[in-house]
Structure 1
Amino acid sequence: MVVKVTDKMKFSRSFDYVDNGIEHGVLSKFEPKEILLKKGTLIAEGFKPLDCDIKMLKDVPVKLRDGVTIYTDIYLPNNCKKVPTLIAWSPYGKSAGTAPRYKNLFNMLGMGNVWNSGLTKFEAPDPSYWCAHGYAVCNPDMRGIAHSEGNTTMVGSQEAQDGYDLIEWIASQEWSNSKTALTGTSYLAFSQWYIAAEQPPHLTCINPTEGLSDGYRDLAFIGGIPDKNFIERLQVNHVSAKGAKRENLVKEMDCYPLATAEVWKDKVADTSKITVPAFVIASYSNTLHTMGTFRSWRNLGSKEKWLRIHDKQEWPYYYDKDNVEELRRFFDYYLLDKDNGWNKTSQVCYSLIDFQGNNTNDISTGTFPPSETSNTKYFFNPLTRTLQDKAGETDIVLRYDTQSLPGKISFQKTFDKKTTFVGYPKVKLYMEVESYNDMDIFVWLQKLDKFGNVLSEFVVPNHGAALQDFTQNGASALRYKGAWGRLRASMRHLDVEHSTDEIPAYSFDRVEKLS
């Protein structure tokens, strides 16, 4: 008997889909039909008018290899030309661009909504812009979402196979030039790793903008420490109009605490199998996606790959006008066969964060870290609580009480000349805890001003009082406070096969309590 990984998953009933044309966007009601949206049409108040005439194919059924039918919205330029297709794969609702929750979110972050047409799926490309430049946009409701059949899984082989099937279906349509690309941020980025690793024949290129690539290490158990809060909020999006079930990752975390479980092994993207051109976008500041994006970039099997490391949160970056234009150059080169010189574009461009309003962006280099970077070691001086260039001659124990202020221990380094940190920071610690057999360790590498105050930087446009309060002691995805790491001591066993001198990797396959 063949046991599928879905047989090992834990499922709960999906949340109910509200089909009222409001909760999930003004175009969300299930109405299979073709609509001609004229240039200048205002989809909803607060959004921008359409840039061109668009033919919308609404609630189109797509049958997958196992007989399950999913539904997708497709936006086409209103002409008879065969066009390439940009695919935005996620569970967030194919027509939810005007949903109140997303409108309010972008308003809170200071982005507003006038940068998109209201046809934009959350974290996805805007059909108004891309149709005007000769592209189709495909916004599917993945398996188990809204009116799509089946049960929803969350990253892994099921989504990858479904994405493969959708790509091949698109390539067979009369309006398609048989070329497709995956694009989008966050969930729409990490789904790309899994789908592209399946090597669909008609997938031409990908554009992952900040996406994790390991459901255990990057999402559920970062550093071996369970983190259920974000997953619970994320899975609220798993809504069904058909009483479907959703994979319950929180239950799986309780049942499968080690990465060796089949459920978690299925959620590791093998990006070495990705061979299509890739335009990868990363940042230092994303607490969810940074590790997975850089890991995927390093392991990519693609011979043609580009990396951009920016200083913003992914949404302001993805929808920035200049960045959209650069992305179009990439897509034009591979999907429209335009000889625009993209192949001569700098392979890597990165940012340096000053934390005082003087960031440097678009630094061109051939590799990351840059080849001129030198790995530098610093050693703790427990007497002066500083970092020094050489190890001390004697071992000294420092103690602190986690239950009393300050609840931490710090070391400082003052530089007498301009010094740049770029690459992958690492710290090696020797620690023990009294009266317990385990502990969670959190480490920050932060910049101080000349008065000793910790510097931080907003990565979204809104720097107002409400967001100041909200991010003071959390929400570091919106306010970058420096490089960080976390590790549960009992999960410290190194994965020798995947560790390097610069980047440690952990097996998370055993529990080694402290004695």
Structure 2
Amino acid sequence: MRLGRRRRLVPRHDAPRRHPLHVLGELVRHAGEDGPVRPRRARPAQPPHRPGGVRRELYENRAEFGDEILSHPLDDAYHKARSPVWHRIKVPFLSAANWGGQGLHPRGNFEGFLRAASKDKWLEVHGIEHWTHFYTDYGRNLQLRFFDFYLKGHRNGWDQQPRVQLQIRHVDRFVERHENEWPLARTQWTKLHMNSAFGLSPVAPTSSQSVSFYALGDGLTFLSEPVEKQTEITGPLAAKLFVSSSTRDADLFLVFRVFTPDLREVVFQGAIDPHTPIAQGWLRASHRKLDAELSTPYRPYHSHDELKPLKAGEPVELDIELWPTSIVVPAGYRLALSVRGKDYEWQKSSGARLSNFKNELRGCGPFLHDDPRDRPAAV
């Protein structure tokens, strides 16, 4: 349509009438051609055969993300430029984590809550997939209260909201609980010791012991006696190992597990994988150097600024973080720690898949450490 001289609307006969979505379709089709796009006619401003323009700019800005990560194995300027500067984060925030998001989001959720300079910060942790819990009424209502308070000025009591809201995980349900800090101040930090009989015990061995395993096999699992009473484990975990290898480096995969009295493993629907274990942790031995300022007994923090290769047969001390978790263990159940040289597998085949992931879901979702460029035979 166009405005005629007599200020009345008359139809244009030199162009077809189109719904705006049709124009959008043309804009999308032309966006990859050389030159900027004229929104009015949805055609390239320059003939597509001319050099330069959008196509060249897009091409020159492309990057192979996997290759870039592999070319920066240490925490160098590349990573620092893409990492948060915690003391500069002062805005209010609500950080929502998932117990079953091992290998992805919980790192930023817990780290941000602990280290950001903001005085107005909250941590929420839930289970199951995001879209069946946090993206439905429970999570939506929580977010609306936060945003209404800070963006609309509603006096809705958010300023009285406890700083930590946890969905405490039981073997058959979640129970909501509020806390004032993380880790929980009333935590009873407890040590369990591995022994050569593949036990996990509060009693330390009286002599030096060792066991061996094939790095690409099923590893070793250390199993506790049945717990005598219901026991809650909520918080971060850590393991100290003394390891030697025949190779110049070694990848360690630690899995904290719970078993029923008849030794069936307790797994959960995680953020992605339907058979997610209780907690996991990873460390490449050459990255074992600790950041003395940020490390704690329950949370080793690695600096990743220096490679320390192994010497064949020579033991080294490794402090390995297992990501935060929550589980209420019923009486009669057992705790276990598996030490492996490859990713955890709930079973060899589960049949579980999602259309946008190439691999079968066997306990770790899509977060696997199986790239031969990153894991050569020497590791």
TM-score scaled to structure 1, two decimals? 0.48
Alpha-carbon separation, structure 2, partners of 1:444 and 1:500: 20
Alpha-carbon separation, structure 2, partners of 1:339 and 1:484: 41
Structure 2 SS opposite 1:441:
strand
Aligned residue in 1 for 2:330: none
Which among 356, 359, 367 is matched to residue 181 of structure 2?
A: 367
Which is further off, 415-424 or 496-505? 496-505
**In the TM superposition, what is the alpha-carbon distance from 1:307 to its structure 2 partner?**
1.0
Aligned residue in 1 for 2:162: 346
Alpha-carbon separation, structure 1, partners of 2:216 and 2:255: 19
Aligned residue in 2 for 1:416: 228
Q: What is the one-letter code of the residue matched to 1:293? A: N
> Relative to 1, partners in 2 of residues 1:341 and 1:394: Cα closer, same or farther, differing over 3 Å?
same
Alpha-carbon separation, structure 2, partners of 1:27 and 1:306: 44
Structure 1 SS opposite 2:237:
coil
**In the TM superposition, what is the alpha-carbon distance from 1:344 to its structure 2 partner?**
0.9
Which among 274, 284, 289 is matched to residue 99 of structure 2?
A: 284
> Relative to 1, partners in 2 of residues 1:316 and 1:514: Cα closer, same or farther, differing over 3 Å?
same
> Relative to 1, partners in 2 of residues 1:512 and 1:388: Cα closer, same or farther, differing over 3 Å?
same
Structure 1 SS opposite 2:243:
coil
**In the TM superposition, what is the alpha-carbon distance from 1:271 to its structure 2 partner?**
2.5
> Relative to 1, partners in 2 of residues 1:240 and 1:326: Cα closer, same or farther, differing over 3 Å?
farther
Aligned residue in 2 for 1:163: none
Which among 427, 431, 449 is matched to residue 260 of structure 2?
A: 449
More helix by share: 1
Select the structure of larger CA radius of gyration: 2
Alpha-carbon separation, structure 1, partners of 2:87 and 2:100: 25
Which among 253, 265, 283 is matched to residue 487 of structure 1?
A: 283
**In the TM superposition, what is the alpha-carbon distance from 1:440 to its structure 2 partner?**
0.6
Structure 2 SS opposite 1:351:
strand
Alignment of 1:79-478 (within 5 A): 243=59, 245-260=61-76, 262-286=77-101, 287-354=103-170, 356-360=171-175, 362-383=176-197, 385-404=198-217, 407-413=218-224, 414-433=226-245, 435-459=246-270, 476=273, 478=274
Which among 267, 272, 294 is matched to residue 498 of structure 1?
A: 294
Q: Any idea what the Cα deviations from partners look like across 1:117-168, whole Å, max 9, x if unmatched?
A: xxxxxxxxxxxxxxxxxxxxxxxxxxxxxxxxx99xxxxxxxxxxxxxxxxx
**In the TM superposition, what is the alpha-carbon distance from 1:368 to its structure 2 partner?**
1.6
Q: What is the one-letter code of the residue matched to 1:365? A: E
- Pairwise CA RMSD: 2.9
Alpha-carbon separation, structure 1, partners of 2:189 and 2:23: 53
Structure 1 SS opposite 2:79:
helix
Alpha-carbon separation, structure 2, partners of 1:377 and 1:314: 33
Alpha-carbon separation, structure 2, partners of 1:431 and 1:28: 60
Alpha-carbon separation, structure 2, partners of 1:242 and 1:511: 36
**In the TM superposition, what is the alpha-carbon distance from 1:403 to its structure 2 partner?**
4.6
2:296 aligned with 1:511: no
Give structure 2 stretches of 5+ with no counterpart: 1-20, 37-52, 312-379
Relative CO higher for 1 or 2, CA cutoff 8 Å, sep ≥ 6?
2
Aligned residue in 2 for 1:466: none
Structure 2 SS opposite 1:427:
strand
Q: What is the one-letter code of the residue matched to 1:370? A: L
> Relative to 1, partners in 2 of residues 1:27 and 1:357: Cα closer, same or farther, differing over 3 Å?
farther
Aligned residue in 2 for 1:464: none
> Relative to 1, partners in 2 of residues 1:273 and 1:427: Cα closer, same or farther, differing over 3 Å?
same
Structure 2 SS opposite 1:352:
strand
Alpha-carbon separation, structure 2, partners of 1:386 and 1:359: 30
**In the TM superposition, what is the alpha-carbon distance from 1:323 to its structure 2 partner?**
1.7
Give structure 1 stretches of 5+ with no counterpart: 1-24, 33-58, 60-68, 70-149, 152-238, 461-474
Q: What is the one-letter code of the residue matched to 2:130? A: E
> Relative to 1, partners in 2 of residues 1:403 and 1:243: Cα closer, same or farther, differing over 3 Å?
closer
Alpha-carbon separation, structure 2, partners of 1:335 and 1:314: 24
Q: Any idea what the Cα deviations from partners look like across 1:281-310, whole Å, max 9, x if unmatched?
A: 112211211122211110011111111111
Alpha-carbon separation, structure 2, partners of 1:242 and 1:487: 36
**In the TM superposition, what is the alpha-carbon distance from 1:390 to its structure 2 partner?**
2.6
C-alpha contact (below 8 Å) 2:126/2:166 kept by paired residues: yes
Q: What is the one-letter code of the residue matched to 2:90? A: T
State the aligned residue count: 268
**In the TM superposition, what is the alpha-carbon distance from 1:450 to its structure 2 partner?**
1.2
Alpha-carbon separation, structure 2, partners of 1:27 and 1:454: 55
**In the TM superposition, what is the alpha-carbon distance from 1:401 to its structure 2 partner?**
2.3
**In the TM superposition, what is the alpha-carbon distance from 1:242 to its structure 2 partner?**
5.3
Alpha-carbon separation, structure 1, partners of 2:211 and 2:120: 49
TM-score scaled to structure 2, two decimals? 0.65
> Relative to 1, partners in 2 of residues 1:248 and 1:395: Cα closer, same or farther, differing over 3 Å?
same
Alpha-carbon separation, structure 1, partners of 2:22 and 2:290: 50
> Relative to 1, partners in 2 of residues 1:244 and 1:438: Cα closer, same or farther, differing over 3 Å?
closer
Q: What is the one-letter code of the residue matched to 1:488? A: R
C-alpha contact (below 8 Å) 2:128/2:268 kept by paired residues: no
> Relative to 1, partners in 2 of residues 1:357 and 1:240: Cα closer, same or farther, differing over 3 Å?
farther
Alpha-carbon separation, structure 2, partners of 1:303 and 1:321: 27
C-alpha contact (below 8 Å) 2:100/2:268 kept by paired residues: no
**In the TM superposition, what is the alpha-carbon distance from 1:508 to its structure 2 partner?**
1.3
